[in-house]
Amino acid sequence: MRWIEDAPYRPRVPFWTRANVGEVLPLPPSPVGWDFVWAHRGVIAGWRDCAIDRLGFEEHELDPDPDLTEVVANFGGYAYLCATFNRIWAERAPGMTYADMDLAYFGDHPDVPPYEPEEWHHNPHTTEVTGAWLGWVMGTMDQSELEAQRVEARTIRSERPDYAAMSDAELLDYAHSLRPVIRRLFNMHINQSAAASIAPGVLAAVTAAVGRPEAAMRIMAGVGGVDSAAPSYAMWDLSRAVATDAHLTAIFDAGPAGLHARLTADPGAVEFTEALDAFLAEFGSRGQNEWDIASEVWETDPDLVLTVIDKMRLQADDEDPRHENSKRAAERQALAAEIAAMVEADPEAHGQFLAAVASAGTFLPGRERSKTNIIRVIGEVRLAIRELGRRAVERGHLDQVTDINFLFGDEVEALTTGALAESKLLVSERRTHYDWLLSIEPPFIINGEPVPNTEWPSRADATPVRTAAAGDVIHGLPGCPGTYRGTARVVLDAADPSGLSPGDILVAPHTDPAWTPLFVPAGGVVVDVGAALSHAIIVSRELGIPCVVSATDATKQIVDGATIEVNGDTGEVTILELP
């Protein structure tokens, strides 16, 4: 059966991982999402472009086919990041080593294989180019290109065509026309992500040298301008409208099921629904698994937004997340001034420290902005393809709109002309295969030739993870500083946070923008996966929520309802009492 083809195995780049990319594509990518966004000169090609245009790799070092570049690939139906590639770049970069890159992606994960240097890993050209690039990261920090792309992405959204009025051919052409834009924007996203990884290392080194290692993380909190935190602030404002209006409160009290339909049908909720529409116009492309156009996002299912607002409305007014952000910002400025004064006698260390403070304040928000830009454009591809799916249902070629997600690009084109034979049977077979992919556990690390996915363990047959007992400590990576004690709520689906109450500690498998608004009612956050620059960490620092990431199997170890303590300074989660 046809599915997304596995990348060829290349012995020279044997080390691949689900780290980081497991947050971007936590589920098996859909055929339609892979074809219209990732492959065919899309995201993967943009990654290659950045490696060559900005990070100093040479054309001959990478596969000439942009879709087969050794950066990200599909193995066994899941997306993997090439850790060998990242290690090589770190080894070539002035002042860095592979260990720095490993720490950023894996922390102290026990299964990380040792680095084995090869002669070709060193390249003076890369070192020279990266040196100049580091001058931008720690020097000029010019973000004019990023801001131009922000305008471009917002213009594409604001000038959205009337998809319902377009012909099938026009819809396909429009979806294809956005692929080069996605490629360029992803080039910038990798650039911003790499840049965001530099300052934290400098801050850690300087603060450790003066005996204040805990200050580094706090200097990276409350930087402001983090686009991925903006939806949380906007949802908070909508929650206040509900909390102060008896009529809206009654509508919400009837339960989250069908909430959007009830609101839009109620003449007493017009002002609120207009505000919600404005929210969706700005943030509607965000949502769980948003990099795959097969996924439902806030615009396609507004109840996903209202479910979070339903939690926020129960909080007191003084729990506005902006208040905590202001505290973090003030602490950041005071700490930066304190540490700068401590190294003032050493001009080199003083200059590096000040540059790192400025760089962190530039590129941590820059990374999230570059992601916002590309997700906004991917959202338009999603809507164009969904319109084709809707029409296919009307013609009787598909049973439901989302069935189009199981088709490849050439099949979508054939579908629009009525030339795709037995389309319903094809979709049924692929849906069955997709469900099977969901039932198996992809290896977190591949080192060597990948084994077939038929040999991967079944999730159902996986060795049970031991439940943590009172007094046990789960170790992860520090995310956002601070300590918080509360009731653990294990939430496995961002669309169903029904058990989470204000003040609870959110224990989640991973996070993306669909999860982070849940940080607002939570007193603390614990995440199974994540790295030093994960989305969860950057947003939690803006919202001021104590956070621990890379707490392996926390969702399995921690009993729902247990009393736990989250220490965002040390990365420790302590089980205090079982329910």
- pLDDT level of residue 510 (50, 70, 90 thresholds): confident
pLDDT at 438: 97
Lowest mean pLDDT, pick from 101-110, 177-186, 551-560: 101-110
- pLDDT level of residue 397 (50, 70, 90 thresholds): very high
- pLDDT level of residue 9 (50, 70, 90 thresholds): very high
pLDDT at 110: 82
pLDDT at 297: 95
pLDDT at 308: 93
- Burial classification of residue 8, based on how many CB atoms lie within 10 Å of its CB (0-12 exposed, 13-18 middle, 19 or more buried): exposed
Averaged pLDDT score across all residues of the chain: 94
113: left (phi over 0), alpha (psi -120 to 50) or beta: beta
Distance CA 212, CA 339 (A): 8
pLDDT at 23: 82
Q: Is the pLDDT of residue 56 over 70?
A: yes
Chain-centroid distance, C-alpha 263: 30
- pLDDT level of residue 22 (50, 70, 90 thresholds): confident
Average pLDDT estimate for 407-434:
96
Q: Is the pLDDT of residue 534 over 80?
A: no
Q: Tokens at residue 559, please?
A: 């009993």
pLDDT at 373: 98
C-alpha angle 354-359-363 in degrees, rounded to nearest 5: 165
Strand residue runs (E) in 421-482 = 445-447, 473-475, 477-480
Output 456 or 70, whichever has higher pLDDT.
456
> What does pTM read for this prediction?
0.94
pLDDT at 532: 67
Q: Is the pLDDT of residue 360 over 70?
A: yes
122: left (phi over 0), alpha (psi -120 to 50) or beta: beta
Helix, coil or strand: residue 41: coil
Q: Is the pLDDT of residue 142 over 90?
A: yes
Contact 530, 551 (CB under 8 A): no
Distance CA 19, CA 105 (A): 6
Q: Tokens at residue 82, please?
A: 């090439």
Residues 213-238 have pLDDT tens digits of 989 999 999 999 999 899 999 999 99
C-alpha angle 288-452-446 in degrees, rounded to nearest 5: 65
Distance CA 25, CA 382 (A): 16
Residues 468-497 have pLDDT tens digits of 999 999 999 888 889 999 999 999 988 888
H-helix or E-strand containing 79?
Answer: strand 78-82
3-state SS, one letter per residue, for 327-387:
HHHHHHHHHHHHHHHHCCCCHHHHHHHHHHHHHHHHHHHHHHHHHHHHHHHHHHHHHHHHH
Residues 232-275 have pLDDT tens digits of 999 999 999 999 999 999 999 999 999 999 999 999 999 999 99
Average pLDDT estimate for 54-69:
93
Q: Which residue has the tokens 């500083």?
A: 481
**Ordered structural domains, the chain, with CATH:** 15-210+348-414 (no CATH), 473-577 (3.50.30.10)
pLDDT at 461: 84
Q: Is the pLDDT of residue 107 over 90?
A: no
Average pLDDT estimate for 430-435:
97
Q: Is the pLDDT of residue 513 over 80?
A: no
- pLDDT level of residue 49 (50, 70, 90 thresholds): very high
- pLDDT level of residue 536 (50, 70, 90 thresholds): confident
